[in-house]
Amino acid sequence: SVLEARSMEAVAKYIKQNDVKRIVLMVGAGISTSAGIPDFRSPDTGLYANLAFLDLEEPEDVFDITFFRENPKPFYALAHELYPGKYRPTIAHSFIKLLYDKGMLLKHFTQNIDCLERQAGVPGEMIVEAHGSFASQRCIECKTPYPDEEMHKMVEQGKVPCCGCGGYVKPDIVFFGEALPSSFFDNRSLPAAADLCIVMGTSLSVQPFASLPSLVSDGVPRVLINMQKVGGMGSRPDDVLLLGDCDAGVRKFAKAMGWEEELEALWGE
């Protein structure tokens, strides 16, 4: 194996000795929970456990395109809560920005729709928003874009925005039953070119995103920062598991690299 031990210290040594600068990150809702945004699948606090008020048969229906076409109201009841602008990036988001500032970030793959990576200062071209985002919206029938201002108003009032053609308007979030954006497929070769992989705050339970870590080349260390072990992480000799919360994990990472103060300063800005 490439690492001397399955520890953060061994990863730090590997980074320094190999002049690592092609880090690929793969993240999910767990990096935003400390900002106050619920994740999806945590047993008590996750969104899917708390949608009883929407009266759905399956909680995932709220993000299902067939369901939305029939009844977009549950989604808009939720959009009201999730709409970006109310939340501050976490130190885990600042950690991603720090990797970028150091010229070590090859690509950031996110399943999150909260835009907090952008808010933390990571440039848009470094981010693959694999499940889309709230940044734009359009009619689900004729695909005509819908103005941001109008969208803000409608979401604030908890109303369903409609297109002139009569179709419902939906943010450019990838729903179940929809294709991922082309940027996901265009960048899917990058994990194989990475010299380090960091998986953070995701249950790795939704395909095709969930298979990204398996595209990392053998012999390239993969670090998991998550509450629990997920996917196939831990199955390779160079996998390092930092089990616990993301903020503590990135602090541990930064400490091993000697970046502690820089990271705290960046987050405090």
Q: Which residues are catalytic?
A: 131
Minimum Å distance from CB 228 to ligand OAD? 6
Measured from the CB atom, is 106 or 241 closer to ligand OAD?
241
Please say whether the beta carbons of 56 and 50 come within 8 A.
Answer: no
Measured from the CB atom, is 201 or 213 closer to ligand OAD?
201
210-238 burial string, b = 16+ CB within 10 Å, else e? bebbebbeeebbbbbbbbeebbebeebeb
The answer to the question of residue 226 lying near ligand OAD (CB under 6 A) is yes
Which one of 72-80, 139-147, 222-230, 254-262 is the stretch in contact with ligand OAD (CB under 6 A)?
A: 222-230
The answer to the question of residue 230 lying near ligand OAD (CB under 6 A) is yes
139-159 burial string, b = 16+ CB within 10 Å, else e? bbeeeeebeeeebeebbeeee
Measured from the CB atom, is 114 or 238 closer to ligand OAD?
114
The answer to the question of residue 42 lying near ligand OAD (CB under 6 A) is yes
CB atoms within 10 A of CB 164: 9
Measured from the CB atom, is 23 or 29 closer to ligand OAD?
29
DSSP state of 187: T
Q: Tell which positions 183-212 bind ligand OAD, by CB under 6 A.
A: 201-203, 205-206
CA 208, 51, 225, 223: dihedral to nearest 10 degrees? -10
Calpha distance 10→51 (Å, rounded)? 43
Per CB under 6 A, the list member of 10, 23, 39, 194 interacting with ligand OAD is: 39
Please say whether the beta carbons of 246 and 228 come within 8 A.
Answer: no
Contacts to ligand OAD by CB under 6 A: 28-30, 33-34, 39-42, 46, 63, 111, 131, 174, 201-203, 205-206, 226-228, 230, 245-246
